[in-house]
Amino acid sequence: MRLAAAAAAATRAAHGALAASLAVAELLHGARQELGIRIPRPLGNGPSRFIPEKEILQVGNEDEQMHALFADSFAALGRLDNITLVMVFHPQYLESFLKTQHYLLQMDGPLPLHYRHYIGIMAAARHQCSYLVNLHVNDFLHVGGDPKWLDGLENAPQKLQNLGDLNKVLAHRPWLITKEHIEQLLKAEEHSWSLAELVNAVVLLTHYHSLASFTFGCGISPEIHCDGGHTFRPPSVSHCCACDLTNGNHSTEETHVSPAGTVPATDSWCEVEALMEKMKQLQECRDEEEASQEEMASRFEIEKRESMFVFPSDDEEAAPAREILRHFEDTSYGYKDFSRHGVHVPTFRVQDYCWEDHGYSLVNRLYPDVGQLIDEKFHIAYNLTYNTMAMHKDVDTSMLRRAIWNYIHCMFGIRYDDYDYGEINQLLDRSFKVYIKTVVCTPEKATKRMYDSFWRQFKHSEKVHVNLLLTEARMQAELLYALRAITRYMT
Distance in angstroms between the alpha carbons of the first and the last residue of the chain: 40
CB 114 within 8 A of CB 145: yes
Give 61-67 contacts, CB < 8 A, sequence gap 24+.
62/88, 65/91, 66/91, 67/15, 67/18
Distance CA 315, CA 84 (A): 30
3-state secondary structure of 41: strand
DSSP-assigned letters across all residues of 237-288: TTS--GGGGGGT----------TTTTS-HHHHHHHHHHHHHHHHHHHHHHHH
Marked catalytic residue, from 129, 218, 226, 410: 129
Q: Which amino acid is at 188?
A: A
**Percent of the chain as helix, strand, coil, to the nearest 5:** 60, 5, 35
Contacts of 81 (CB under 8 A, 6+ apart): 73, 135, 223
User: What's the chain's Rg over C-alpha atoms?
Assistant: 23
**CA 132 to centroid of chain Cα atoms:** 11
Distance CA 186, CA 489 (A): 10
**CA 41 to centroid of chain Cα atoms:** 27
DSSP-assigned letter for residue 81: -
Which of 485, 394, 473 has its CA nearest to residue 439?
A: 473
CB 19 within 8 A of CB 206: no
> Where does residue 410 rank: exposed (0-12), middle (13-18), buried (19+ CB within 10 A)?
buried
218 catalytically annotated: no
Using DSSP bridges, classify how beta strands 230-231 and 41-42 pair: parallel, antiparallel or unpaired: antiparallel
Which of 144, 19, 129 has its CA nearest to residue 80?
A: 19
Q: Which amino acid is at 411?
A: M
CB 252 within 8 A of CB 242: yes
CB 327 within 8 A of CB 132: no
DSSP-assigned letters across all residues of 364-380: HHHSTTHHHHHHHHHHH
Q: Which helix (H) or strand (E) holds 393?
A: strand 392-393
Which of 306, 307, 297 has its CA nearest to residue 418?
A: 297
The residues carrying an active-site annotation are 129
